[in-house]
Amino acid sequence: MLSWAVTFLILALIAAALGFGGIAGAAAGMAKILFFIFVILTVISFIFGRRKVP
């Protein structure tokens, strides 16, 4: 349990450093772009995955 607490502490410190440094806006923009790319790829994989292969 202590290892999880230390892991979340390190993640929180990294997130705080990025948030206070002004990089958060750029990271949010990239996250939006990647989200839509992966949604499109997921839909494409569902469409082509449902085809029956003889």
Domains: count for the chain = 1
pLDDT at 46: 82
For position 14, what pLDDT does the model report? 81
Indicate whether 14 belongs to any domain: no
The confidence score (pLDDT) of residue 52 equals 66
On whether residue 10 sits in a domain, the answer given is no
Let me know if residue 19 belongs to a domain: no
Length of the chain counted residue by residue = 54
Tens digit of each residue's pLDDT (9 = 90 or more) over 1-54? 677 788 888 888 887 777 776 776 777 788 888 889 998 988 888 888 776 666
Contact call for residues 27 and 18 (beta carbons, < 8 A): yes
Task: Say if 38 falls within a structural domain.
Answer: yes
> What does the pLDDT read at residue 8?
84
